[in-house]
Chains A and B, each alone.
Chain A
Amino acid sequence: GAVVSQHPSRVICKSGTSVKIECRSLDFQATTMFWYRQFPKKSLMLMATSNEGSKATYEQGVEKDKFLINHASLTLSTLTVTSAHPEDSSFYICSAPGQLEQYFGPGTRLTVT
């Protein structure tokens, strides 16, 4: 089946710094990708919809200036967590739609110290 990759798989950064997470569709093109966040023992929460060639659409309560999304090509979307704080520590997951199902990346565990 189709594969979605994420890089890095885990990252530790200091408060106030920015972190970029990449999401790639490896063998198919994705004009849309989705970014989710998951806190421990909680379900996935949609953060934003990334659109190739246009601005991302953010869910209510998600700050667009803090979580910068760039859909640079048909196979790459990036999420940048700017001025990270410890409360941004979470598991970030991207997905891309196939014909019948969503393909999810393996996730990126962000820890902000």
Chain B
Amino acid sequence: DAKTTQPPSMDCAEGRAANLPCNHSTISGNEYVYWYRQIHSQGPQYIIHGLKNNETNEMASLIITEDRKSSTLILPHATLRDTAVYYCIAVNNNAGNMLTFGGGTRLMVKP
């Protein structure tokens, strides 16, 4: 699976949009971009994934650049409960594959 690079930490004001970047310049054509988050002392939670097109669900939006070398996860109105470590992972198109976690971005939402 392609390596991903994320900033180690970010702050965001409560109620504002949180934009979390991820670089995956070596991503291959059959690899999806997946985002998970891990709240302190809990198991990771799936957020969203995409291949080429931008995606939106009830939790977040995912913007993937046209060349697929980078993406941005957007939490439109961050709350204190969104404080977590966010992991961007490139995953082969078989969802049964194991995940290789990088360092992630520690997002701190502040009041």
A residues contacting B by CB (< 8 A) are 4, 6, 32, 34, 36, 43-46, 49, 91, 93, 95, 97-107, 109
Q: Are B98 and A46 in contact (CB under 8 A)?
A: yes
Q: Are A102 and B95 in contact (CB under 8 A)?
A: yes
Q: Which of A6, A32, A43, A91 is within 8 Å of B104, CB to CB?
A: A43
Q: Are B42 and A32 in contact (CB under 8 A)?
A: no
CB distance from B93 to the nearest CB of A (A): 10
Q: Which of A32, A97, A99, A104 is within 8 Å of B44, CB to CB?
A: A104
Inter-chain residue pair count (beta carbon < 8 A) = 54
Instruction: Report the separation of the CA atoms of residues A34 and B100 in the bound assembly, to the nearest whole angstrom.
Output: 11
Q: Which of A44, A46, A101 is within 8 Å of B95, CB to CB?
A: A101
Residue of B nearest to A9 (CB): B41
B49 within 8 A of A: yes
Chain B interface main SS type: loop
B103 within 8 A of A: yes
Q: Are B95 and A95 in contact (CB under 8 A)?
A: no
| Residues in chain A near residue B102, CB distance under 8 A | 43
B45 within 8 A of A: yes
Q: Which of B41, B97, B98 is within 8 Å of A107, CB to CB?
A: B41
CB distance from B13 to the nearest CB of A (A): 24
Instruction: Report the separation of the CA atoms of residues A103 and B98 in the bound assembly, to the nearest whole angstrom.
Output: 11
CB distance from B44 to the nearest CB of A (A): 5
B99 within 8 A of A: yes
With contact pairs A32-B96, A43-B104, A44-B101 given, residues A100 and B49 touching in the complex (Cβ less than 8 Å): yes
Instruction: Report the separation of the CA atoms of residues A108 and B99 in the bound assembly, to the nearest whole angstrom.
Output: 19
| Residues in chain A near residue B99, CB distance under 8 A | 34, 44, 46, 95, 102
| Residues in chain A near residue B103, CB distance under 8 A | 43
